[in-house]
Amino acid sequence: MLELRLVQGSLLKKVLEAIKELVTDANFDCSATGFSLQAMDSSHVALVALLLRSEGFEHYRCDRNLSMGMNLNNVSKMLRCAGNDDIITLKADDGSDTVTFMFESPNQDKIADFEMKLMDIDSEHLGIPEAEYHAIVKMPSAEFARICKDLSSIGDTVVISVTKEGVKFSTRGDIGNANIVCRQNTTVDKPEEATIIEMQEPVSLTFALRYMNSFTKATPLSNTVTISLSSELPVVVEYKVADMGYIRFYLAPKIED
């Protein structure tokens, strides 16, 4: 028996909007730790890891570990029927091939049940070891989204370079090239507007902008984004999900031929 009640149901709506472009089908895993997902895009270039810790739910009952295969487009269709202020409860019985999404309006005057068919998904689970990153950039998520969008009108790839000067996003294309430098800036009114660069050593990596732009679908979840870079590892682009967890996007770099 599974029963997860999330008072801030809009978080789940935003999570689905953040990942459904990148991943078509995925297994949602429930355990005592929380509600999680790990999935790769169809070309195995990017990976998304979601964790919503059990403590973040108003009610969290998961009698035994359960893996539920879902088509994310269909989940998104279901969740779009929930109001932004609705409380969302996920329910599944042991051995059932369906999951039920229950939506309650804040004043309890409307209660809706949406039952969705589960599917068998044969997905590969990857072990991601803890890593030391050469540079970690924390910046406003809207700023990062703007940079990715702007650069993708010029080129297909972005070079992200971190030096003592700041973090530089560069691209080049048929019509020309572009460089955007963001310097560390902690003298702002609100902490979420700060750009903070922790650098152990300079790093420069090249990535496909198409994936970066897809990751920025998570922007409504968090005012800030954290970008972790190491010269021999995929970049990690992380958005916090309130104080209950995170969405991490891993993207493999492009290398010189």
Partner 1 sequence: THVQLSITEFYRST
* Residues within the interface to partner 1 (CB under 8 A): 40, 43-47, 124-129, 157, 206, 208, 233-234, 250-257
Cβ pair 9, 87 in contact under 8 A: yes
Query: What type of residue is 163?
Result: T
| Shortest distance, position 251 Cβ to partner 1, whole Å | 8
Q: Which is nearer to partner 1, 129 or 176 (CB)?
A: 129
| Shortest distance, position 103 Cβ to partner 1, whole Å | 35
- How far, in Å, CA of 70 to CA of 239, rounded? 22
Q: List b or e across 25-43, with b for residues whose CB sees 16 or more CB atoms inside 10 angstroms.
A: bbbbbbeeebbbbbbbbee
| Shortest distance, position 210 Cβ to partner 1, whole Å | 10
What order of strands is seen across the sheet that includes strand 245-251? 66-71, 25-30, 34-40, 46-53, 245-251, 235-241, 224-229, 135-140, 196-199
Q: Which is nearer to partner 1, 125 or 149 (CB)?
A: 125
Q: Which is nearer to partner 1, 142 or 252 (CB)?
A: 252
Taking CA atoms, 86 is separated from 17, 41, 163, in Å, by 17, 30, 45
- How far, in Å, CA of 90 to CA of 61, rounded? 10
Q: Which is nearer to partner 1, 243 or 256 (CB)?
A: 256
| Shortest distance, position 15 Cβ to partner 1, whole Å | 20
Q: Which is nearer to partner 1, 220 or 234 (CB)?
A: 234
| Shortest distance, position 144 Cβ to partner 1, whole Å | 20
